[in-house]
Amino acid sequence: MSTTSVLGGVIKRREDPALIQGKGIYVDDVKEVGMLHMAFTRSPYAHARIKSVDTSMASTMPGVVAIYTIDDVRFLGPLPAQVPIGKLRPLLADGVVKHVGEAVVLVVAESPAQAEDAAESVQVDYEPMKAIVDLKEAASNKVKVHDDLESNILHSWTYHGYWDALGLESQKPKIEAAKQREDAIVISQEMVNQRLIPVAIEPRSVMAIWNGGYERFNVQSSSQIPHALSGAIAKTFGLAANAVHVVAPEVGGGFGCKLNVYNDEILACFAAKELGRPVKWTEGRREAANSTIQGRGWVATATLTGTKDGEILGYEIDGLADMGAYTQNFTVAIPLLGLWVASGQYTFPTHFQIDCVVTNTMTTDAYRGAGRPEAIYYLERIIDMYAHQIGMDPLEVRKKNYWKADQFPAQMGCGFSLDSGDYGASAEALAEKADYAGLRAMQEKARAEGRHIGIGVSSYVEVCGFGPAVLAEIGFSWANYGLPASFNGSGLVRVNPDGTATVLIGTGPSGQGHQTTWAQIVSGGLGIPIDNIKVFHGDTAESPMGVGTFGSRSISVDGAATHNATAKIRDKAAKIVAHLLEASEEDIVFADGQAHVSGSPEKSASWAEIAKAAYQAHIAPPGMESGLEAHGCFSPGNATWPFGTHLAVVEVDPDTGNVTLLKYVGADDCGNVVNPMIVDGQVHGGIAQGVGQALFEDSIYDKEGNCLTTSLVDYIIPTAGDLPLFDLTRTVTPSPVNPLGVKGIGEAGTIASAQTIVNAVVDALTPLGVKHIDMPLRPRRVWEAIQDAARHRDSHSMAKS
Amino acid sequence: MHVSVTVNGRVVGGDVDARTLLVHFLRENLNLTGTHVGCESSYCGACTVLVDGVSTKSCTMLAVQAEGASITTIEGLAQNGALHPVQEGFWERHGLQCGFCTPGMIMSAVGLLEQNNNPTEDEIRHGIEGNLCRCTGYHNIVRAIEYAAAKMRGETPAPAEWEVSV
């Protein structure tokens, strides 16, 4: 048996005709008869005791149908979490508020405006308490965020100690020994990887209907995890798993912020059930900073030990990560994702300790990259500082310390092994695409002309494709969401009686083009023309069990499962064709939308003929079970480990501190590629978000715990005018972890880019003595760094003279 | 208050509060949900429509201010089943991912190309600066608008990057 493959080709997206004509349906577009609307009274304090709540005025306002406080919903319990360390979020504030914007009172009214007007009229009397916003202050434990927790430090993730069962040894002694070497150079720098607001352009939205006749919820939500939401609703309300139907229709961007079950989703269900009417809520943009998770928020010190020849002897990172006030889905687990990639593409001994700290701020959780951009940022910044210190080309330093192609699978000190890679080839591809030597020559010339041009490079490795079954042993579990504990993928392929195929998958995409890519996988597996294949996702009643789209996992887990399903169908179809054509099963070839006997193309059967036989017992082989559909499930043995090296060229205006991004080049390796157009698009968007962190984005809190950057006027994401075209190239090192050989590409660009930009800016300013600037590199901060370096230089030369 | 406007070639009317924004009138009264709401600060541009041919953020305008105007929304862009060149460009050049900013981005690009049918890359970038996209990094949006501009000039668009590179 063999097949004709469409894997690896550019297929225009199936999603687009609807979306480019305004025919895509997002949750906020949905209207139901009798629909009610929710609004929340939110806390103006970051930490306060609630003395009283007076809803009397609000309850008399026009259109108000119901008002609820925690007393009405406490019996439903708090929100679930994947790794439930810390304080779980109550559905509404319970006696105390722990961050600005925490939902205190829920108002349900006939229109959104009426709900909002009434929510503003609720009188809450607060007794303000001290808010802890600064991470170091929180870690000092002088004032506790939660009285009933022992410490503001919820958990410490250490390189050797995160999972006792592995029996790992600390690499710290090796690193300390290296520091004692005579030729050792030790470089250390504290850096901030600032908090970010995800800003999916579609605000989150949920619509819940309680079908009292069938005792069933029908819910639409802009979610990356429809099955987990369904499970969480069932568990919360004590219903059977099949009594909740969740649909994630078009989802307008996710980037991790829709990878959570939120209190508004549970409360919409509660209100719909109580009131017997459909209930909708759509988040406001400014509300989102306090009602949707934020990301990043690390303060850590990176230390690198190496020789003057560029041999790195050890790397350490030690610091704090901001959890916000409440633990939600992956909150406490995010730094662990960073731990797994802490040593990047390199062989050297590594030490990692990140303490998870609670503060009186909005919860943090997975934002594109989730722990991995932070970890790679610290590593690749300190390597660059080291390269500058020893006067060696930063790309050469990296190449000298990579795992070599013949060392894969490479066993890392954290216990996991890198599945496949050729890091040197990737760096070479980058250097060639960018004309690295030419760029350095150009830089030299520009410097001679007094221009401040910088070239930054960085290498990354990503851990994705979640995930291997061992995650359940480490403490991750979807069981808290009423799902199986593991991170399986699944796909159901049905060849219909007319020979077309229907594909049902348990993913929750938000722009990744699954309808297109999965059609390619199935067409590649069966040879059914791609135009005859339709893909459906995000519907828990239609699709098989899935855990959603996040962690760059869909293609390598659910894609592999779907591929396995096609193999089952092909096996059955071959039996049918052999029977129809009176040939041997082994001689059946699937190609060009049909099957034929090897060496006799005239003896053929179309998929319509195969399907007809499959569904009609009198034509099918005797005794064969009717139908032609198969369910594939896949549980990977390891994560997948994409990698790459990126480069940026910037120019800095030293008089204003303004940074202009002149050129951006990326070399990525995500294993086999199903649709290169879609893969490149994912890299483009990923890079833009990393550039956003490097240059513009910053979720700023004041000392009282107010987020000052809740609107898009204050929280600046890149516009078209801020970015150049991106030059991309790729190497292909198939993954041995799954049958498609794919790795995942959703987050790679973001993991690759922030430090690439910072490295370039610092490179530009090295002649001025600048060694490091914390992100975002807005003009003022860059200008101040230049002034500081000048003062430092002056005082230095005065001391010498 | 009563408002009467021409939307996508049809005269339509409705009773609205004085405070009703044009975007809400389009979405709630006329069920034209292709025009999206992404922020509260007229920054994101997801709500961009053409008002008398000029691209306009429909959240910056009251419905009653549009009295008598001719409005084109994303739903009215394709003519007789044929996509507008900008729509075609976005499809051909992968100018969208999640699709949420897309209607506004397309309407903004249509407005831009009405004024300048041969824009440079820089002019395209600055022309769509009022529209935020979080998915694409704008790379393929620029390519999509270049494609549309070529088509509107009656020229053959440059081949896609994936057609020329390995």
- In A580-600, which positions are buried (b, 16+ CB within 10 angstroms) versus exposed (e)? bbebeeebbbbeebbbbbeee
Whether B66 contacts B22, CB under 8 Å: yes
Confidence check: pLDDT of B165 > 90 = no
Q: Note whether A716 contacts B: Cβ–Cβ < 8 A.
A: no
Q: What is the pLDDT of residue A591?
A: 83
Nearest to A371 by CA among A634, A162, A635: A162
CA distance A644 to A668: 4
Cβ-Cβ contacts under 8 Å, B97 against chain A: 253, 511-513, 681, 685
Residues B99, A719: C-beta atoms closer than 8 Å: no
Residues B137, A16: C-beta atoms closer than 8 Å: no
Nearest-Cα distance to chain A for B110, in Å, is 13
* Residue of chain B whose alpha carbon sits nearest to that of A199: B134
Q: Note whether A617 contacts B: Cβ–Cβ < 8 A.
A: no
B134-159 pLDDT tens trace: 999 999 999 999 999 999 999 999 99
Residue A278, Cβ density class (10 Å: 0-12 exposed, 13-18 middle, ≥19 buried): buried
Nearest-Cα distance to chain A for B134, in Å, is 7
The DSSP bridge pattern shows strands A103-109 and A64-68 to be antiparallel
Residue in this structure with the two tokens 């600060």, named with its chain if needed: B41
Residue A446, Cβ density class (10 Å: 0-12 exposed, 13-18 middle, ≥19 buried): middle
Nearest to A715 by CA among A698, A703, A702: A698
A 682-701 residues inside an 8 A Cβ radius of B: 684-689
A101-144 pLDDT tens trace: 999 999 999 999 999 999 999 999 999 999 999 999 999 999 99
A685-716 pLDDT tens trace: 999 999 999 999 999 999 999 999 999 999 99
Residues A21, B33: C-beta atoms closer than 8 Å: no
Cβ-Cβ contacts under 8 Å, A684 against chain B: 136-140
At A711, the amino acid letter reads S
CA distance A294 to A647: 27
B 72-111 residues inside an 8 A Cβ radius of A: 73-75, 77-78, 83, 87, 90-92, 94, 96-103, 106
Confidence check: pLDDT of A748 > 70 = yes
Q: Note whether A555 contacts B: Cβ–Cβ < 8 A.
A: no
| DSSP per-residue codes, A389-425 | HHT--HHHHHHHHBPPGGGPSEE-TTS-EE----HHH
pTM over 0.80: yes
Cβ-Cβ contacts under 8 Å, B87 against chain A: 20-21
Average pLDDT over residues A521-542: 95
Q: What is the pLDDT of residue A453?
A: 98
B88-130 pLDDT tens trace: 999 999 999 999 999 999 999 999 999 999 999 999 999 999 9
Residues A511, B135: C-beta atoms closer than 8 Å: yes
A627 contact partners, CB below 8 Å, separation of at least 6: A614, A615
Residues B140, A712: C-beta atoms closer than 8 Å: no
Strands of A295-306's sheet in order across:
A153-158, A350-358, A312-324, A295-306, A185-196
A 719-738 residues inside an 8 A Cβ radius of B: 719-721, 723, 725-726
Average pLDDT over residues A300-306: 98
Percent of chain A with pLDDT over 90: 94
Q: Note whether B136 contacts A: Cβ–Cβ < 8 A.
A: yes
**What is the interface pTM, i.e. ipTM, of the complex?**
0.98
Confidence check: pLDDT of A799 > 70 = no
Residues A22, B128: C-beta atoms closer than 8 Å: no
Confidence check: pLDDT of A593 > 90 = no
